[in-house]
Structure 1
Amino acid sequence: MKKNSDTSKLLREIELNQSIPKIQVGSFSHLFKPSNMGVLVLFCLLLYVLFLPPVIGMGDDRSSAAIISGSNLYQLGEFTPKESMAYFEKNWGIREYYNDSYNAQITAQTPFINAAKRLDQAYTWDWLFDMRFYGAVILVFYLIGMYFLFETVTYGKRSKWAYVSVGLGVIIFGDTAYTAWINSFYTQALSFFLVIILGTSLILMGQEKLNDDLLIGCFFLSSLLLCLLNQQYALLGLFLGILGINLKYVNGRKSYRRICVGCGALLMLCSLVAFFIMPNGLTNLSAYHSMTRGVLMTADNPEQALKEFSINPQYAVLTGTSYYQAISPETMDGQVMKTEFFNKVNPTEVAIYYLANPGQLYEMLNRSVNSSFNIRPGWLGNYEKTQGYPPGAQTSFFTSWSYLKANYLPGNFGFIIIWMGLLIGVYVRFFRKGIIEKNGRNTLRFVGLMTWLFIGLWELYVAIITSGDTDTLGHLFIFSLTFDLISFVVLGKFIHWIEKQLRKVDWESRKQAFFNRNKDQNKDQGGYRL
């Protein structure tokens, strides 16, 4: 009887112990893993830069006016265009009634701005919109993208070396030249995290680090939002849709394959619809610069180049000029200029011209690459006017990477060709191995990097054919970002290689050999003492 009571008592103690939640050491180690710590550091850094005075943001060059109007917002102060570019505007007005302005535009940005407006109104209950609420919404997705990115480079690495890789990522992608765009209505605020999530979801799928359904959802959603930002991104959806359909070979589940095929087809359809429905944003100014600051400026014979567009060769006198300095505004807006010049210039013909003249294309690529390495436009300020900074002042806080990149990296397309050759040479073996072994996952690391490369080169080319060497900031931002993303992943692999080489070294034997050598030297020196 006593034995039975002891047994029942022991069982009750075991059940009680099992019911008490235990804190495991592993849970703490998971919290402090490199990717989590990197995200935490970035959160603290951006909290200081974007949300605490003096608040950092980007001046407004009026290129986002249609998005702002479509979101029912308006500018509070009576700023001149020059003042709007020189100062960051944190506060905006919210229209009480629906805005039916003819220039209102709805894009992939609109849901994010509307979410920020609801957060603002729920918190303040006034009719003022604080840009920091929009920045907070973007920040959430940016941190998700950075977590994905850190996970890709810490794959299979020991913690001390993984922290080095993550620290490098914080320096590059936490640079204020990048993060200041988060506090703005420019498309760069969204494309920043969308491009990161798009590529890292493919690489992580190949590494089998996260759930396939989660990653394929992130890939298609980020691809769709990127294509719906504006018309010039729209055609990327055709490439991304075809890529998404081919991802069905990664996982054998029927439901997964249906998702890939269905979402890929939907992405391609949305891409085509967006291309024909969304306004192209190309103006006479863009058409003028695509010729005078592009085709004509790089042509050996500008008159002959104009003949290929069926334009009067006398317009060669405009070579190298900008829209505002060439002819009087009345002439530029006149019917003659429209009929004889602007109606004969379109991106398709400019693109065909460059393909037929690769020397000119290469020269324009050189100019664009050089410009892309400086993602801080000199005409946009970072501070509010009330903060007392001079017009156009830009922050120097945490900008080491953007400074080094703009001033010391070779700014020519020849450097990009060498860089692409090294990239393909390092990673193509993984793709080849995956093809030989018929293992789709092994190809995804290479596919993810090549997707970034394709997007970057596509935007570089679009910038040239639509604007020459002027007003290319939006496209060159994407190219600069993809260059940094690919370089960061490659550097992460190089750090991992260094780790593996150091791990092979027998440090204990070398330590003993060093001490033994010192002992022998001391003995030799001792023999000569008096």
Structure 2
Amino acid sequence: MDEAYNKVDSKDMMDHRNKTRDFLKGICLWVYKNVLKPSSLGVIFLFILIIMLLFFNPIIGMGDDGSNAGVLSQSNLYDVEELTPKQSMAFFEKNWGIMQYFNESYSSLSTSQTPFINAAVKLDFGLTRDGVFDLRFYAAIISICYLFASYLLFESVTKGKRTVSAYLIVCLGVFFFGDTAYTAWFNSFYAQGISLFSGIILAITLILMGQKKYNDYFLLVLFFSNAMIFCLLNHQYTILGIFMGILGILLQYVQPRKTFKIICIAGGSLLIVVSIIGFFLMSDNLTSINKLHSMSRGVLMTADNPETALEYFGINPQYSVLTGTNYYEAISPETINSTDMAIDFFNKITPGKIAGYYFGNPGQLYEMMNLAVEASFNIRPSWLGNYEISQGYPPGTQTDFFTGWSYFKANIMPGNFGFIMIWMGIIIGVYVRSFRLGIIARNERNTLEFLGLMTWMFIGIWQLYFSVITTGDTDNTGRLFVFSLTFDLITFVILGKLFFWFGKKLEKTDLKNGVNKFLKRKRNEKSVQGGTAE
């Protein structure tokens, strides 16, 4: 009887061991499939970098240049530290006050950034209830969206493969997009953090749709939702909503299902309508300072004859004295704000007129685009500090931690529009063949990778041009953030393609076997020499 019990116990123990072993195997298999693949590892490294930089001392963020007053008003926040304007630029502020009473400066017209800030404020209040808003709650929300966008980006480039090339390109992606010059924007009220993740998702959904990587409906919802977020971030992006709305309508040809076509047409039409409404309702933020700079630091600065340039706008040639000056050194504030200045100068300047002038003077436009590209490669404005005033760093100090890519772009990469034109030619040359074949074969999916890259390119070039006609060459570093981002995204995708092509070439030439044979021959030679010596 004892033997029977022992046999039963042994059998139970064996069953338990087998179940435990199967359970552990299942965990290991899940980890291998989902955690150890290149895209997941890339996101994990980005997560570690963000946690280190944005949430633990010394906390990294961006100083405030005063342009975020409207954003603060829409979310009922105020400056609790009461820093001077100069200090606000030189130091990052983590804590902000939450208004408890009526907000006199509140504006009912919000941007797509407002819901993200409001969600962060409510989350902070729900957890702490201290009446002070910690900006890291906002950074946490933006970081989650950014990590999700990065995962999709890595998935599109690696195409689910686990080759050496896939791991290398993801490492390059971490080097590019984990750069502190990008992630430091999350700890600020600037719109750059949202434009970062929404800008990535906009085109990456098209590329993934072409690869049949995920469900088409899921990608379609991502495309339209992020297009809406991106276009309503700022007045200058609303025009892009018309372009993306048309693109969304054209996506109906990707698959024949009626439901899919209806979503494409409805989503694209809604995006166009909302963008047009946003264009007329949202403030264009073109102050007299912007108009002055668009002329003095743009049209007049690059003109051979400033007086002749002013005649195009119907402005008195005497205003040519403003050539090359900025708002703070040109003329007195009383003159700038006078009625005569408004009638004789500012009222005659519009973005449309400036665009028309540059269209007739392409040499000046090229010169301004050169300056804009050079400024865009400096991802962080040099005048905005990264540290809190309480941390004891000198005013305006910026971190050097994990800034290799931004340093390379700012100091080594050619910063001129000629380089950008060559770069665009290479991109179009690489992808236009697959696009043409897709059109001929009526296989619209094969055209989506090209369309995704062209979407990024169009958005980037649009921001370059818009910045030139609205502010000249002033304040371009922050304004041209999206161009810098789209340049990096397209470059990253192209390098990914190059890495995989090179990896396949190595496999075809069987270079690995050749190297192994060479090393084996060297070892044999050494062993023979050793035997001879003995």
Query: TM-score range with shorter-chain normalisation?
Result: over 0.9
Q: List per-residue Cα deviations over 1:126-165 (Å, max 9, x = no partner).
A: 1100000000010110001100110111016433221111
Letter of the 1:87 counterpart: F
Distance 1:514 1:240 in 2: 55
Aligned: 1:26 with 2:24: no
**1:418 — aligned with what?**
422
**Which of 275, 286, 296 is the aligned partner of 2:300?**
296
Q: Secondary structure at the match of 2:325?
A: coil
- Deviation of 1:474 after TM superposition, in Å, equals 3.9
Compute the displacement of 1:516 (Å): 5.7
1:488 lines up with 2:492 in the alignment: yes
Cα distance per residue 1:264-323 (max 9 Å; x no partner): 000000000000011111100000000000000000110000000000001001100001
> How many angstroms does 1:463 deviate by?
0.2
Q: Does 1:504 find its partner at 2:495? A: no
Summarize the alignment of residues 111-510 of structure 1 with structure 2, pairs less than 5 Å apart. Answer: 111-155=115-159, 157-506=161-510, 507-508=512-513
Query: Contact conserved, 2:235 with 2:279, CA < 8 A, in 1?
Result: yes
Gaps of 5+ in 2: 1-14
User: What do residues 428-477 of structure 1 show as CA deviations (whole Å, max 9, x unaligned)?
Assistant: 11111211221111111111000000000000000000000002234310
- Matched-pair contact (CA < 8 Å) for 1:366–1:412: yes
1:340-383 Cα distance to aligned partner (Å, 9 max, x none) = 00010011100111111100000000000011100111110000
Counterpart for residue 83 of structure 2: 79
8 A Cα contact 1:202 1:445, kept in partner: yes
Whether the aligned pair in 2 keeps the contact of 1:374 and 1:405 (CA below 8 Å) is yes
CA-to-aligned-CA distance 1:472-518 (integer Å, 9 cap, x gap): 23431010000000000000111101110111123436644675698
Normalising by the residue count of structure 2, what TM-score does the alignment of the two structures yield?
A: 0.92
Distance 1:478 1:516, change over 3 A: closer
Q: Please give the alpha-carbon distance, in whole angstroms, between the structure 2 residues aligned to 1:281 and 1:484.
A: 27
Closer, same or farther in 2 for the Cα pair 1:81/1:516, shift >3 Å? closer
Aligned residue type for 1:357: N
Secondary structure of residue in 1 paired with 2:96:
strand
The worse-fitting range, judged by mean Cα deviation, of 471-480 and 455-464 is 471-480
TM-score by length of 1: 0.93
The amino acid across from 2:513 in the alignment is E
Corresponding residue SS for 1:242: helix
Greater mean deviation of Cα atoms: 502-511 or 197-206: 502-511
- In structure 2, what is the equivalent of residue 3 of structure 1? none
Question: Unpaired segments of 5 or more residues in structure 1?
Answer: 1-12
- Following the alignment from structure 1 to structure 2, what is the Cα–Cα distance between the partners of residues 231 and 118? 27
Alpha carbons of structure 1 residues 496 and 333: separation in structure 2 relative to 1, 3 Å: same
Give the whole-Å Cα distance in 2 for the aligned partners of 1:520 and 1:69: 77
State how far apart, in whole Å, the 2-side matches of 1:260 and 1:511 are: 54
Deviation at 1:427, TM superposition (A): 1.0
For 1:81 and 1:466, the matched residues in 2 are separated by 24
Change over 3 Å in CA distance of 1:82–1:524 after alignment to 2: closer
| Contact kept? 2:97, 2:131, Cα under 8 Å | yes
| Amino acid aligned to 1:209 | K
Residue identity (%) = 57
The 2-side partners of 1:182 and 1:22 are apart by 39
Q: Match of 2:80, SS?
A: coil
Please give the secondary structure, in 1, of the residue aligned with 2:92.
coil
| Cα distance between partner residues in 1 of 2:207 and 2:519 | 43
The answer to whether the Cα contact below 8 Å between 2:378 and 2:477 also exists between their aligned partners in 1 is: no
Q: Hey, what's the Cα distance between the residues in 2 that align with 1:394 and 1:517?
A: 51
The Cα of 1:524 is off from its aligned counterpart by 12
- Kindly indicate whether the alpha-carbon contact (under 8 Å) linking 1:428 and 1:446 is maintained by their aligned counterparts in 2: yes
Name the SS for the 1:60 alignment partner: coil
Q: How far apart, CA to CA, are the structure 2 residues paired with 1:66 and 1:512? A: 68
Q: Aligned runs of 1:44-55 on 2, under 5 Å?
A: 44-55=48-59
Over residues 146-201 of structure 1, what are the superposed CA-to-partner deviations in whole Å (9 max), with x where a residue is unaligned? 00110111016433221111110001100000100011100111101110011111
- Quick one: distance in 1 between partners of 2:266 and 2:362? 39
Q: Is the 1:66–1:105 contact (alpha carbons within 8 Å) kept by the matching residues of 2?
A: no
Q: What amino acid maps onto 2:131 in structure 1?
A: W
Q: How far, CA to CA, are the matches of 2:304 and 2:246 in structure 1?
A: 40
Residue pair 2:381, 2:478 contacting (<8 A) in 1 also: no
SS of aligned partner of 1:186 = coil
Q: Which residue identity is paired with 2:447?
A: T
Secondary structure class of the residue paired with 1:417: helix
SS at structure 2 position matched to 1:235: helix
Q: Residues of 1 paired with 2:98 and 2:529: CA distance?
A: 86
Task: State the one-letter code of the partner of 1:508.
Answer: N
| Equivalent AA in structure 2 for residue 45 of structure 1 | L
2:61 matched residue in structure 1: 57
Structure 1 residue 77 displacement after superposition:
1.9
Cα distance between partner residues in 2 of 1:189 and 1:458: 19
Aligned to 2:3: none
Q: Residue 98 of structure 1: CA displacement?
A: 4.1
CA contact (8 A) 1:33 1:159 kept: no
Kindly indicate whether the alpha-carbon contact (under 8 Å) linking 1:49 and 1:56 is maintained by their aligned counterparts in 2.
Answer: yes
Question: Is the 1:35–1:154 Cα contact (8 Å) retained in structure 2?
Answer: yes
